[in-house]
Structure 1
Amino acid sequence: MKLYHHFSEFKRLNNAVVTIGTFDGVHYGHQKIINRLCELAKATGGESVILTFFPHPRLIIDPENQDLKMINTIAEKAKILAGLGVDHLIITPFTRDFSNLSPSEYIKNILVDTIGVKHLIVGYDHRFGKDRAGGMPELEAAAQIHDYKIEVIPEQDINDVAVSSTKIRKALLNGEVALAAKYLGYNFSLHGRVIKGDKIGRTIGFPTANLFIEETYKLIPADGIYAVTVDMSGQSFKGMAYIGQRPTINGMTRNIEVNIFDFNQEIYGQNITMTFLQFLRHDVKFTGLETLKLQLQKDKEDTLAYFDTLA
């Protein structure tokens, strides 16, 4: 898959089969649309193109609302789309100027002149252009002028996509990572850099790697303990992750930490990927570090027991 971060990098195609959307999560509903995109491109001798936006349009149109959290970072999304066989992914900056394009300018300047659209797959309720003034009537009228065909994604499929995205976010915010995986078709993960912590875990026999997530828009699951795998430098390890404010030591910040089993290397500064498999328990405040240690020993036993069920 070829990746573009601006329209200026893209060379117009002769037969572009295009769909447009944020595709956050790239879950089963999205995959159905993307599979159709690739199928149509193959059937017509064209090339599949996904046009997506970053940052999310809602963050630009409504900058006061920063509560929106995304299931995927833009890099994670690109990796998943590449695996689905998409030929081209255009991640265009969603700016005020872009949002102010009229519907006719959007169609001619972007879809036709820049991308070279010949087939367009869009939802029945697709809106675009300044103040979201453009819709199916504008697309259909322009198709007669610019010679492209439109395939409409039915209302039921669009509703399924929206419902699935909502369910995934809700599941993750409730800690239900196994349920989220069923909707996604893959396990949710966090990718970040290992930073120094206060090393309290080492004093009770459970050293942890503290994870820093650079992308502030990335959704973080509910506080608690999870069974996870940790991937780094081409290797995969089992572990248990903690998300929370460490109430036992009166912590003030929300931490993301992982105790990697059978591992004792220094990995400060390294990037790791933590994949969530199972929720174990909620975060609670213990009477002291010794009580916490006893609970962590049980958590480890529960985590290993979970991994045994996968064997």
Structure 2
Amino acid sequence: MKIYTDLKKFSAINPVVTIGTFDGVHLGHRKVIRRLQELAQKVNGETVIFTFYPHPRLVLNPEDNGLRLINTLEEKKVLLEAAGIDHLVVFPFTKEFSKLTYVEFVENILVKQLGMKYLVVGYDHRFGHNREGKYEDLKIFADQLNFKIERQDVLNMDAINVSSTKVRTSIAEGDIQMANKYLGYRFFIKGDVINGKKLGRTIGFPTANIDPQESYKLVPKDGVYAVKVDVDDKRYLGMLNIGVRPTVNNQLDNRSIEVHILDFDKDIYFKNITIHFYQRIRNEQLFASLDELKAQLAKDKIEVERLLG
């Protein structure tokens, strides 16, 4: 997959294009991608995803710092390449760009600069300033500018429309299994192992503290999770805690992500590792003593091995 941040360097044969933030690259997105690939094959063309960075909401509503995204940009690149996309345009989203009308955007960027031959849009997609460009408007415009356009219906699972918002809600509520069902893969967090207080090793459960690196990366609800951990191209079972560790922490505003990797004793400080989430086991708890915490962690380990082993 070729990646562009400068449209002057873009080159593709009969580009078949779709546009969006593609947060999560979930099953709904993959339905659009499959159609993109079918059309590209039909017209001897190549698939193009046109996405934005930063996310438009982060630019248009900077005071609303509550937005959290399923994927970082680098994660999204990996997922889209795995999905078989030929070209990815990462277009810088600015307030100035947001003022373009849908006519200016389609004509000046998609047609003149990309050379678009086919456009595939999602069921509710709108273009341009104030999202004023509807599908019906674009169909008329397509005839004038000599490209074809098609709208994809929403993917429906269990009478629920699959969307990035629904995936984000599931993750935020700790319903990892539902999120994974919508995503079509295990939700994951990549991050560097950073120094912690090293209290886990004193009770026989050493943990790696994870820094997700991007402040906008969505982190699941506090609690204990069954996970798998990628370290140096090998995968291990793990149990992960998200929260304030109330039994051992006096700074209850100090939220952390820490994972105990089962049957593992290597030094991985400052390594970049990947956590794949499988299931939430329980809420985070305050224990009366370290012995009670240790006993519960032993039970958690058995549960992780039962679920994932």
Normalised to the residue count of structure 2, the TM-score between the two structures is 0.93
Matching residue of 1:28: 27
Q: Is the 8 A contact 2:27 2:155 kept in 1?
A: no
Letter in 1 for 2:57: R
Quickly say closer, same or farther: Cα 1:117–1:211, change in 2 above 3 A: same
Displacement of 1:125 = 3.6
Superposed CA RMSD? 1.9
Stretches of structure 2 that go unaligned for 5 or more consecutive residues are: none
Residue 6 in 1 paired to residue 19 in 2? no
Displacement of 1:158 = 8.9
Matching residue of 1:266: 267
Displacement of 1:35 = 0.3
Quickly say closer, same or farther: Cα 1:256–1:273, change in 2 above 3 A: same
The aligned runs of 1:35-74 (5 Å cut-off) are: 35-74=34-73
Matching residue of 1:300: 301
Counterparts of 2:13 and 2:80 in 1: how far apart (Å)?
Answer: 22
Letter in 2 for 1:295: Q
Matching residue of 2:142: 143
Residues 26-55 of structure 1: per-residue CA shift (max 9 Å, x gap): 111111111000111011101110001111
Decide which moves more: 43-52 or 76-85: 76-85
Residues 183-211 of structure 1: per-residue CA shift (max 9 Å, x gap): 11111110000000010111111110000
SS at match of 2:201: helix
Q: Is the 8 A contact 1:29 1:161 kept in 2?
A: no
Displacement of 1:117 = 0.5
Letter in 2 for 1:286: F
Matching residue of 1:203: 202
Letter in 1 for 2:269: Y
Residues 31-85 of structure 1: per-residue CA shift (max 9 Å, x gap): 1111000111011101110001111111111222121111111111111111111
Stretches of structure 1 that go unaligned for 5 or more consecutive residues are: none
Quickly say closer, same or farther: Cα 1:113–1:276, change in 2 above 3 A: same
Counterparts of 1:201 and 1:243 in 2: how far apart (Å)?
Answer: 14
Decide which moves more: 273-282 or 60-69: 60-69
Counterparts of 1:109 and 1:158 in 2: how far apart (Å)?
Answer: 34
Counterparts of 1:221 and 1:103 in 2: how far apart (Å)?
Answer: 36
Counterparts of 2:156 and 2:80 in 1: how far apart (Å)?
Answer: 19
SS at match of 1:114: coil
Letter in 2 for 1:24: D
SS at match of 1:248: coil
Decide which moves more: 289-298 or 202-211: 289-298
Letter in 2 for 1:282: N
Residue 176 in 1 paired to residue 175 in 2? yes
Instruction: Indicate the percent of aligned positions where both proteins have the same amino acid.
Output: 49
The aligned runs of 1:67-216 (5 Å cut-off) are: 67-154=66-153, 156-157=154-155, 163-216=162-215
Residues 245-296 of structure 1: per-residue CA shift (max 9 Å, x gap): 1111233311000001111111111100011112111101111222111111
Displacement of 1:244 = 0.5
Displacement of 1:9 = 3.4
Displacement of 1:24 = 1.2
Where do 4+ consecutive residues of structure 1 move more than 3 Å?
Answer: 156-164
Counterparts of 2:266 and 2:69 in 1: how far apart (Å)?
Answer: 32
Residues 222-246 of structure 1: per-residue CA shift (max 9 Å, x gap): 1111111110211111111110011
Decide which moves more: 265-274 or 132-141: 132-141
Counterparts of 1:46 and 1:204 in 2: how far apart (Å)?
Answer: 59
Quickly say closer, same or farther: Cα 1:183–1:123, change in 2 above 3 A: closer
Counterparts of 1:263 and 1:286 in 2: how far apart (Å)?
Answer: 26
Q: Is the 8 A contact 1:230 1:237 kept in 2?
A: yes
Counterparts of 2:308 and 2:24 in 1: how far apart (Å)?
Answer: 25
Counterparts of 2:278 and 2:164 in 1: how far apart (Å)?
Answer: 19
Normalised to the residue count of structure 1, the TM-score between the two structures is 0.93
Matching residue of 1:291: 292
Displacement of 1:182 = 1.2
Q: Which of the pair is proportionally richer in helix?
A: 1
Displacement of 1:167 = 2.9
